[in-house]
């Protein structure tokens, strides 16, 4: 039986994180009385909350899939812990820093840049692990 407890732990943490982001957007949508899009005129707080949730869903699941593949193929547990912890920090920073009127907010820069770097490094390590398995 294959076991990937590190990836499962981070996937579980991020599942709760996704629910929190969804609740923040959905409950605010209900308070604003807006069913689709962001209202007329646009409610920018609702737009921010929805975009934070959407951005999370665009990046985190793919990283978790690659982490699971790395773990299942004998990758470094320490690498997975470091990447997982950094991803938590990056996603919190992004959630705090995504503002409709400040594209240069430090939280957004740390969150977006950190997520991009984590994606690149994780994908690179995954490719290396995968190539080793193919050539073995």
- The model's pLDDT over 100-110, given as tens digits with 9 standing for 90+, comes to 899 899 999 99
Contact between 79 and 32 (Cβ < 8 Å):
no
All residues at 6 or more sequence positions from 46 whose CB lies less than 8 Å from its CB, including other chains? 25, 28, 29, 32, 34, 38, 39
Q: Kindly state the tokens that stand for 63.
A: 């990283």
38-84 residue pLDDT tens: 666 778 888 899 999 999 999 999 999 999 999 999 999 999 999 99
32-48 residue pLDDT tens: 777 666 666 778 888 89
Taking the C-alpha atoms of residue 42 and residue 26, their distance in angstroms, rounded to an integer, is 16
Look at the pTM and tell me if it is higher than 0.75. yes
Contact between 64 and 93 (Cβ < 8 Å):
no
Q: Which CATH number fits domain 5-135: 3.40.50.970, 2.40.37.10, 3.40.1830.10, 1.20.120.550?
A: 1.20.120.550
């Amino acid at each position: 039986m294959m076991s990937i407890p590190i990836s499962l732990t981070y996937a579980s943490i991020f599942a709760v994180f996704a629910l929190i982001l969804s609740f923040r957007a959905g409950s605010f949508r209900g308070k604003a009385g807006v069913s689709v899009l962001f209202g007329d005129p646009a409610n920018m707080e609702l737009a921010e909350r929805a975009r934070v949730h959407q951005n999370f869903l665009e990046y985190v699941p793919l990283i978790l899939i690659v982490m699971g593949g790395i773990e299942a193929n004998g990758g470094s547990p320490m690498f997975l812990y470091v990447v997982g912890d950094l991803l938590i920090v990056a996603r919190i920073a992004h959630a705090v820093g995504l503002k409709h009127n400040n594209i240069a907010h430090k939280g957004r820069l740390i969150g977006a840049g950190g997520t991009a770097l984590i994606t690149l490094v994780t994908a690179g390590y995954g490719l290396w692990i995968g190539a080793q398995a193919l050539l073995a």
